[in-house]
């Protein structure tokens, strides 16, 4: 929460990890605008007096309770944020941040491109894995937040790509 300031506009994707960001925004009563494609995030924040919510529409993906597709991408193309909090299916030190869903990956990529700072939130199981749809190269991410210490090789790769690593 130290990275989210009152007055910020924040993009949050539809991942379960990103839902924790929304829950903490609510708990800490942050006065922010949240842009999301996630029904779960909207449900988490709908009763907040402090949060303005912009929900991206589009085709409903029932498994993740999220909106994606060309309509969602079109809406996102006209929205900008101070910070994006996104997750992924896999992170590979050569290829970067990837996803198993083309449609979810496109949404995450657009959120990343339309934000001043990008926070990738991922548990350690996502590292050293690869999926087919590219979200971003490592040097396009400003911060990676994870829960367990990574290998020295990973720490060096991230430093080389100017990614700040945060253990939470």
Does 1 score more than 90 pLDDT?
no
Query: What's the CA gap between 10 and 131, in Å, rounded?
Result: 26
What are the φ and ψ backbone dihedral angles of 35, each rounded to 5 degrees?
A: -105, 125
Query: What's the CA gap between 11 and 110, in Å, rounded?
Result: 10
For domain 9-167, the question of CATH label 3.40.50.1360 is answered with yes
pLDDT tens readout for residues 17-58? 889 999 999 999 999 999 999 999 999 999 999 999 999 999
pTM of the model as a whole: 0.95
Are 119 and 143 in contact, with CB atoms under 8 Å apart?
yes
Query: What's the CA gap between 75 and 92, in Å, rounded?
Result: 29
pLDDT tens readout for residues 79-103? 999 999 999 999 999 999 999 999 9
Residues of the chain with pLDDT > 70, as a percent, come to: 100
Residue 36: both structure tokens together: 């999301």
Q: Where are the domains of the chain?
A: 9-167
């Amino acid at each position: 929460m130290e990275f989210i300031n009152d007055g910020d506009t924040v993009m949050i994707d539809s991942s379960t990890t990103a839902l924790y960001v929304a829950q903490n925004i609510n708990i800490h009563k942050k006065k922010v605008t949240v842009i999301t494609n996630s029904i779960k995030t909207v449900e988490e924040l709908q009763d907040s007096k402090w949060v303005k919510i912009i929900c991206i529409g589009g085709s409903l993906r029932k498994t993740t309770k999220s909106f994606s597709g060309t309509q969602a991408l079109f809406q996102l193309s006209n929205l900008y944020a101070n910070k994006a909090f996104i997750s992924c299916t896999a992170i590979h030190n050569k290829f970067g941040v990837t996803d198993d869903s083309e449609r979810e990956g496109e949404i995450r990529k657009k959120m990343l491109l339309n934000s001043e700072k990008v926070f990738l939130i991922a548990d350690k199981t996502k590292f050293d894995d690869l999926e087919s749809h590219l979200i971003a190269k490592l040097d396009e991410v400003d911060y990676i937040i994870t829960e367990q210490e990574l290998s020295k090789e990973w720490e060096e790769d991230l430093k080389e790509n100017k990614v700040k690593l945060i253990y939470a």
